[in-house]
Structures are given as structure tokens and as C-alpha cells.
Structure 1
Amino acid sequence: MNFDKLYINGEWVKPHSKEIIEVENPANKEIIGSVPAADEEDVNLAVAAAKEAFKTWQFSSMDTRIELINKLLEELKQQVDLMAETIVKELGCGISFAKNSHVLPYLDDIQNHLNIIGDYEFQEKHEDYIIFKEPVGVIGALTPWNYPLGQIIKKLTPALLAGNTLVLKPSQKTPLVAFLLTEAIDRANFPKGVFNLVSGRGSEVGNVLAKHKDIDMITFTGSTKGGIEVSKLAADDVKRMSLELGGKSAAIILKGADKRLALMKTLDKVYLNTGQSCSAYSRLLVPRDEKKEIENLILEMTKDYKFGDPADADRVIGPVSSQKQFDKVSYYINKGIEEGAKLLLGEVPKESKGYFIGPTVFTNVTNDMEIAQNEIFGPVLSVIPYDSVEEAIEIANDSVYGLSGGVFGPEEKAFEVANKIRTGTIVINNGSQLHKAPFGGFKHSGIGREGGKYGLEEFLEIKTMFI
């Protein structure tokens, strides 16, 4: 699957740069495609197109915007299997997970935004003033490799519905599905310049977008380190920023909890997508006197997760995404052993035909260890015992991150504990994160929200008119 053109001003155009980026299948290390490695001149053309398009798109009717997004949704529905298969090849997750977690929920997310926009009030009239909610302008969207379709949709849909134009730079690791999305946008006949795609390296295309004088806002999803770098580049122009960054979320099992439910929720978060989710429950806090029982349940329940070729519908845990990610996760597994944690499950990864790392569970972990403080982004769980609920809350909050979490136990107590956790989202017992609700983090986990009306409002400016 090779793409040799960029999408600028409503057309597929040859890039100024002659360089390409090869895309690797992490399951077998084979090259499966390529995309252009755009340069600064390509970015300038895309931004200029978006800037020109904004002059008219900002005043387009809501009916027009809704009609176009509906057309896009219908186009995407026709290529669900193709997008899922592409994500399997470029990311390495299982085929059923790709379809049911990477594709279909985000098509629902488009519909959620359409539902929200239909009822949204863009004006608030008061006795002597009116509040107008207007588009920000030209949006630079930098999206990650771990959810290569979903994170684009989470940004593109509300941004365009709000009347903004957009320049997208997808991850260089998993760009192929972004090109499939762009083909669908082209078929839906969006006006020229409203959406533009420039693939390339973050150090080149991403940095140019972040500091470009004609970009009004940067929306970024990725590592906290990357978010800080982008923020510094964008700061000179006082750009609007929306950042969805890293996490080191804690799941707390209280006394009286349904342990199997708690572990099912936790292990799904840690194992599926091979742990490459910012909201993974990578710390499991357990009552000290129930630790052994819970560890035995982890060993038993992990057997339900199969590990191997991601193209096999019966297997759900594939490789990590790249050599870089393999090396990073391997480092932390070795570091955990050095720090004195005990491997309850798993082993130090070995090189193979793909970047495979099996389910890994550490016990005897203390919260000051690197494996408990740093985002690993792999199928690695740290079991941390606590002696009181107050200590569990303290451990959960002892992190620079605050993105997600879970509390499992008697409902009243679980609510009480959840209210004391400093995190942007938290699940209680059998609850689930929903795309129609806002998602984002406290502390180093980001700025702003995605999803629901709060996600829409990230792409709106407030104007007050006095009358």
C-alpha cells in the first residue's frame, strides 16, 4: 500500500520532497507500504490552502457542514474492513480489536458529534450583550501511532463542524489508515483546503506546523515529552493548544470488590492494544492481605488472552509497534528486575521475527520504582499492595500523570474513593469510558478535553458583543 502524493487544497499533489517513509509491519518486520516525507515547502502550501479556505468555510451553514460530515461517515462505513486490516498491518493489534475498538467506535463518535452539533447553541443572548462562539481558525493536528484512525476522527470531526479548517500530520509509524480516511474525504467532496494531509517526520513536519505563523491552534496527542516540545514551539505565537498526553493510571481494588470484574477490566486495559494506550491501568493497587489471592487470579485469567499473529481473529495480543517500542519496554522490564520487583508473569523479551512482548506482571512493586512512575506503553502491569484506603488514594495520586483510573468495590465506598483521585476520567466497577463523554487529563496528562460538547468547545473562540 504505497501512497506517493499529499492531499493539499482538495487535490492529490506530488510533494516537493522526494523522500519517503517506509511503513513496517511489527508482526514480521516486513515493509508493507510507504508515504511521502513532506518538507517545509509542502507544509507551507497546505497551511496556505487551509488559511484561504477558512475565509469562506467559517461562514458556511451548519447544514452544509453536517451534510459533508454525514457523507464522510457513509464513505467510511463502506471501508470498515479495509481500515481494520490496514491497522492490523501497520500497528500490530488483533483483527477483532482493530475493527471493534479502532474503527467502529470512532464511526459512532462521528455520529455523536453530529448529534451534539444539532442542538448546540452558538449564541447566548443576554439583556445587554451577546456571546458568540466562533471557530478558532486553521488547526494543526498532530496524531499518534497507537490509535491512528480514532485520534484523527476525534480532532477532525469537531474541528470542521465548528467551522475550522485543518492540516493533519499523522504519525510516521502508522500513516496508512490516514490516507484511506483522506481518500474518503476526497470522495465526499469537501471544499478545497478545508482538510489537508501532509505526512512526514515529527521533527520536520510536526515542528514546522507547531511554529507556523498561520496556524491558529495545535491539537496534539502523544507522549508528554512530545507535548512539551510542541508547546514550546507553539508558544512564540501564543497558539491555542489542546494536548492529550501520557498516563500512569491506577486501578484500585477495595475490600468487598468483585475481583474477577476488577481484573477483567484491568487486564483488558493492560493487554489489549498490547498495552499501548495512554489510559491503561498499569498500576494495580490491592489490599495487602488479599494480594496473593489476586495474584493467583491474574495468573488464571491471563490464560484467556492469546498471544501471537495479529491477523488471527482468535488472538488479541500482537507485537508492540516498533523496534524503538520493543527496546523501551524491554528496558523497563529489566529495570523492574533491577529495582527488586518480582516477575509474577512474563520474561525479559527476546528478539524474534516480530516485536513481540508477552503479558508481563510485576509484584512486590513500590510506587517509587521507575516501573510504577514512568509510562511504559506495553503489556506490563505493576501490582502494588496497600494497608489502608487512605494509603491507596495517596499511592494513586503519587504520579505526575492524571489521565484515567478505576475503583472497584462497594458502590458507596468506590464513589468516595474515586472523588479523591486526581484524574481526568475514572471508571467505577462495571462502568466504561464513553466516546460521547469528555476525555482528558490532569497534571502532565494534558490540557483540554476531547469528546462531547467539551471536545467541540476546544475548537471555538468566545466573542462578546455589547448591545
Structure 2
Amino acid sequence: MTNTHEQQLERGTSVLEVPGHWIGGTVVAGPGDVRELLSPVDGRVVGRSPVGTPETVDRAVRAARAALPAWAATAPGARAEVLRRLADELTRRQEEIAWAITTEIGVPISFSRAAQATFPAIVTAATAGLVDEVEWEAERGNALVVREPVGVVGAITPWNFPLQQTVTKIVPALLAGNAVVLKPAETSPLTGPILAEAATAAGLPAGVLNIVYGDGPVVGEAIAAHPDVDMVSFTGSTAVGRHLAATAARTVKKVALELGGKTAAILLDDADLDRAIAETLQFAWSNAGQACGAWSRLLVPAARHDDVVRRLTAAAAAFAPGHPAEESTLVGPLASEAQWSRVNGYLETAVAEGAVVAYGGPGRIPGLEAGAFVRPTILTHVDPSSTIAQEEVFGPVLSVLTYEDEADALRIANGTAYGLTAAVYGDPARALSFARGLVAGQVYVNGAAFNPLAPFGGFRQSGVGREMGKEGVEEFTELKAILR
């Protein structure tokens, strides 16, 4: 998109339309209502999308089932080539993708371009490149062990990283030979039509990817319950994940869940504080903290607490909230008024339970009252057992906790119901040793770079299964042993 779109977003005159569901390679209108998407900047209507029904889901599943045999029989190398072309198409559409996501959930355009619009193409290309890493067949004595597609996959994705979370599900599922029925989050549907266009241009056969829009309790529930859906892959809250898993269990489906997190970033006593603090704020407050892997807890040696807090508050000024269309904005609004109420409620509870506001705090921001803007916040004197230290906030809130020694730090870091991501800073050998003791599916040591070939997923209530990497492809397969 061009600067014209930026001006439209600023003036509230741009209304982006999702023309219909994408089923069997065609746009399908209705049945169902139309949802208006409200800007988190000022509440104006910025988009519209269809609201599907169980009948819409059934039509999409039938289309996927019909397309499945031919796609599953396509050689893995040929499937990978389609996905490489898809990566190219997504790259070509990055500016359009960035503005769509900024429009619907208020992510600053700089972050949309740097992450929201670029990661999907990177992950798609990296996944396609794994085609020769997966052991599709293996001889074991008199057995031929064959890795086959699960069948029809229902993918239910969240609003916070709309296209990124979509491709981490559908691309490995497609590489493995499955057909997919995708339900994007009802509040962030605008990249769905872009994805459909890109997939068609890449040569993906009609019906292999189907997209149904609508509410989770209706469309998501229908996907999980449908007897012709063979697997459900869901990213979202732990509570909804438990419910969908129970629904899927009634028809004994395979289920993959990527759920909540409560990431701890641990500063060992020899950590490079300048680097650690800069990166902690970035990972805590990017996307307005609306990420399952957001660094929401910072564990520091008790003796260094005051120095760390001084450095944090000094660096925090760069993260002043602003209009997401402004290139300089690092923190935009939360995705909705409902999300604002949730995060503000957590801040009020934290203060009531004894936390001290070192920066930010609850309440509306003067001059930005019309939108879902929350102050990026640093809390100190946070008890490890308090609500703010135990529950996923999903907002730009960083809690500073102190520890006495490494054993104490490990106890606090592992002391939640979650186990998705973690981070540690310090001498590389010490930090690596500490990382091995963390209960988390992915650990960043000294600010290591994102790796699309590394498996991602959680322990405990952070989920079941893995996305990305070779393991993410294998998640969408079944094993068959042919004895001869």
C-alpha cells in the first residue's frame, strides 16, 4: 500500500473489506452476519468481514476433503516448490500486509513492517527448505515406516500476530500433504484475503486451503467438533485451548496447542546490563506486550535492583505510546477496548497487592483517551506469588523481581503454571548452564536471534506439540509401519 493508505488510516476514512469466505478456491458470501472492525486508535469502523456458521465450516471441510487425495499424493518436493512461491508472493505483498495489520489491531507500522509482515515469508521459505530434512520413509528391518499427512487440519489462529501465527500452522501442514480449514481471529481477519490471493498465485490447488471467518464459539467450535476434521491446531489462551481439546477429544482428533506464557528474563550477576535492559524492554513492550512470549518478568540480583530499575526507567522514555501510522511510534494501542480493560485491571490489582509503580501505571493516557492506549509500565517490589507475577497479562507490563542466588532465580523463573519461553543474560557458559534448568520450550541466551528452524512450543500449560522447524512439519503427520 502507499502513503495514501497511511493518510486514510490517520483520517479514519479507510474501510477494508473481506469479501467473503475462501472455500474451494472461490470467494463465498454468507450465510451469516457481517462484523464491523473498530479501530483501537479511536473506535471508528476500519473494516468488515463475514461471520460464518457451522454450515460454512461444513462446506469448507467438504472442499478440503475433496482436495486432499491429490495434494497428499503430490511429491513432497513439488509441494515445497509451491510453498517457495508462496513465500515469494508474501514478500511481494509485505507493505499491504503491514498496513492491514496496523489497521485492524493498531500495531505501529514500523513493527508491522519489521516483524508482522516479514516473518511470515521468512518462516514459509524456511519451512519449504525442510523438505529434505524430514524422513518421509525409513527402512527398519522388515518394516517400511512411512510418514503420511494427518488429513484435514483445522487451524485456529489468534489476533496478535495474525499472519505469522497462520503460516506457522498452515505451511508445515501443507508441506506434509494435508488440506487445511483456517479460522483467523474474528478481530484480525484482514490478511486472510491477501493470503488466499498469494496462495492462488503460488499455484496451490483449489480446496487445499480454505478460510472461514467468524466467532470462536461458533466457527472454532464447529471446526474442533467436525467429524471430518482429523487434527486441530490452535494458538490462544490456555482456557480456550483446554476447551477445544475437550471438544476435539469427542471425535479423537490429534490436537496441537500453543497457549499462554509468563516469560522470565534472568540477569545473572555478570550480565551486560546495557544490552540486557535494552532488549528486555523491546521484548516486553513490542506489539504492546501482546505476545505469548513477551518478556513480562525480569529477575535481577537483589544487590543490583536499584541500578537496574534506574536504567530501565531511563530507557523507557523511548517507548511513549503514539499513533500507529507514525513511523517513530514504538508502542501503539492495545488491540481493543476489551483488551485495555483487561490490562488496566491487572495493573490496578498489582498495585492493590503491593507492587510499586516505577514507570507508567493504570489509567487513561492524556490526549489518547479515545483509543485503547495503556501506559507501558514497570512494576517493582513484585511478589513472585502475586497475580501480576503468575498470570499472563498480554500488555506492556514488566515486573521486576529480585533473587538471592541462582537457585533462588531458577525457583522463581520456574514458579508459574507456564513454560513457553525464557531468556538469560550472563557469561555464556554460565548462562547456557542456567538455561538447561529452565522449564521452557525455547530459551534465548544473551539476546540470540530468532531462528525459524528451531521448534517452538511450551511445557506445562503453555501447550502441547511444536511449531516451526522439522518438528513442526512432523507434528502434522501420522506414522504408518508396513511390514513385509
With normalisation by structure 1, the TM-score equals 0.98
Query: Does the alignment pair 1:194 with 2:211?
Result: no
**Which of 162, 167, 181 in structure 2 is aligned with 1:153?**
167
**Which of 325, 345, 353 in structure 1 is aligned with 2:370?**
353
Partner-residue secondary structure (3-state), 1:193:
coil
Query: Does the alignment pair 1:391 with 2:405?
Result: no
Partner-residue secondary structure (3-state), 2:471:
helix
Alignment of 1:22-421 (within 5 A): 22-350=36-364, 352-421=369-438
For the Cα contact (< 8 Å) 2:38–2:45, is it kept in 1? yes
Partner-residue secondary structure (3-state), 1:461:
strand
For the Cα contact (< 8 Å) 2:133–2:470, is it kept in 1? no
Following TM superposition, by how much is the alpha carbon of 1:20 offset from its aligned partner in structure 2, in angstroms? 0.9
Following TM superposition, by how much is the alpha carbon of 1:200 offset from its aligned partner in structure 2, in angstroms? 0.2
Distance 1:343 1:430 in 2: 26
For the Cα contact (< 8 Å) 1:306–1:314, is it kept in 2? no
Residues 416, 189 of structure 1: alpha-carbon distance in 2 compared, 3 angstrom cutoff: closer
Distance 1:69 1:418 in 2: 34
Distance 2:475 2:133 in 1: 17
Following TM superposition, by how much is the alpha carbon of 1:212 offset from its aligned partner in structure 2, in angstroms? 0.5
Q: Which runs of 4 or more aligned residues in structure 1 lie more than 6 Å from their structure 2 counterparts after TM superposition?
A: none
Following TM superposition, by how much is the alpha carbon of 1:55 offset from its aligned partner in structure 2, in angstroms? 2.1
1:131-152 CA deviation, whole Å, 9 max, x = no partner? 1000000000000000001011
Partner-residue secondary structure (3-state), 2:257:
strand
Distance 1:185 1:262 in 2: 40
Query: Does the alignment pair 1:455 with 2:472?
Result: yes
Following TM superposition, by how much is the alpha carbon of 1:15 offset from its aligned partner in structure 2, in angstroms? 1.8
Distance 2:132 2:437 in 1: 35
Q: How many residues align?
A: 466
Distance 1:242 1:131 in 2: 23
For the Cα contact (< 8 Å) 1:286–1:385, is it kept in 2? yes
Distance 2:120 2:454 in 1: 13
Distance 2:133 2:266 in 1: 38
Query: Does the alignment pair 1:10 with 2:25?
Result: yes
| Structure 2: gaps (5+ residues) | 1-15
For the Cα contact (< 8 Å) 2:88–2:121, is it kept in 1? no
Partner-residue secondary structure (3-state), 1:415:
helix
Decide which moves more: 127-136 or 112-121. Answer: 112-121
For the Cα contact (< 8 Å) 2:19–2:27, is it kept in 1? no
- AA partner of residue 9 (structure 1): G
For the Cα contact (< 8 Å) 1:137–1:165, is it kept in 2? yes
| Structure 1: gaps (5+ residues) | none
For the Cα contact (< 8 Å) 1:4–1:14, is it kept in 2? yes
Partner-residue secondary structure (3-state), 1:303:
helix
- AA partner of residue 242 (structure 1): A
- Equivalence for 2:3: none
- AA partner of residue 276 (structure 2): A
For the Cα contact (< 8 Å) 1:221–1:243, is it kept in 2? yes
Distance 2:22 2:31 in 1: 12
For the Cα contact (< 8 Å) 2:86–2:124, is it kept in 1? no
Decide which moves more: 380-389 or 62-71. Answer: 62-71
1:318-337 CA deviation, whole Å, 9 max, x = no partner? 01101110000010000001
Partner-residue secondary structure (3-state), 1:58:
helix
For the Cα contact (< 8 Å) 1:247–1:404, is it kept in 2? yes
- AA partner of residue 261 (structure 1): R
Distance 1:271 1:145 in 2: 17
1:277-310 CA deviation, whole Å, 9 max, x = no partner? 1011101111111100000000111123242011
Distance 1:418 1:69 in 2: 34
Decide which moves more: 105-114 or 323-332. Answer: 105-114
Distance 1:15 1:65 in 2: 31
Distance 2:99 2:45 in 1: 15
Following TM superposition, by how much is the alpha carbon of 1:68 offset from its aligned partner in structure 2, in angstroms? 2.1
Distance 2:205 2:360 in 1: 52
Decide which moves more: 197-206 or 123-132. Answer: 123-132
Distance 1:348 1:66 in 2: 48
Following TM superposition, by how much is the alpha carbon of 1:129 offset from its aligned partner in structure 2, in angstroms? 1.1
Distance 2:463 2:151 in 1: 22
- AA partner of residue 138 (structure 2): E
Decide which moves more: 240-249 or 8-17. Answer: 8-17
For the Cα contact (< 8 Å) 2:80–2:129, is it kept in 1? no
- AA partner of residue 310 (structure 1): P
Following TM superposition, by how much is the alpha carbon of 1:186 offset from its aligned partner in structure 2, in angstroms? 2.7
Partner-residue secondary structure (3-state), 2:210:
strand
With normalisation by structure 2, the TM-score equals 0.94
Following TM superposition, by how much is the alpha carbon of 1:276 offset from its aligned partner in structure 2, in angstroms? 0.4
Distance 2:20 2:482 in 1: 44
Distance 2:201 2:120 in 1: 19
- Equivalence for 1:431: 448
1:183-226 CA deviation, whole Å, 9 max, x = no partner? 22233342221110100000100000011100000000001111
For the Cα contact (< 8 Å) 1:342–1:364, is it kept in 2? yes
Partner-residue secondary structure (3-state), 1:418:
helix
Distance 1:430 1:218 in 2: 33
1:145-198 CA deviation, whole Å, 9 max, x = no partner? 000010111111111111000000000011111221112223334222111010
Partner-residue secondary structure (3-state), 2:449:
coil
Partner-residue secondary structure (3-state), 1:307:
coil
For the Cα contact (< 8 Å) 1:10–1:190, is it kept in 2? no
Partner-residue secondary structure (3-state), 1:172:
coil
For the Cα contact (< 8 Å) 1:349–1:356, is it kept in 2? no
Following TM superposition, by how much is the alpha carbon of 1:127 offset from its aligned partner in structure 2, in angstroms? 2.8
- AA partner of residue 206 (structure 1): G
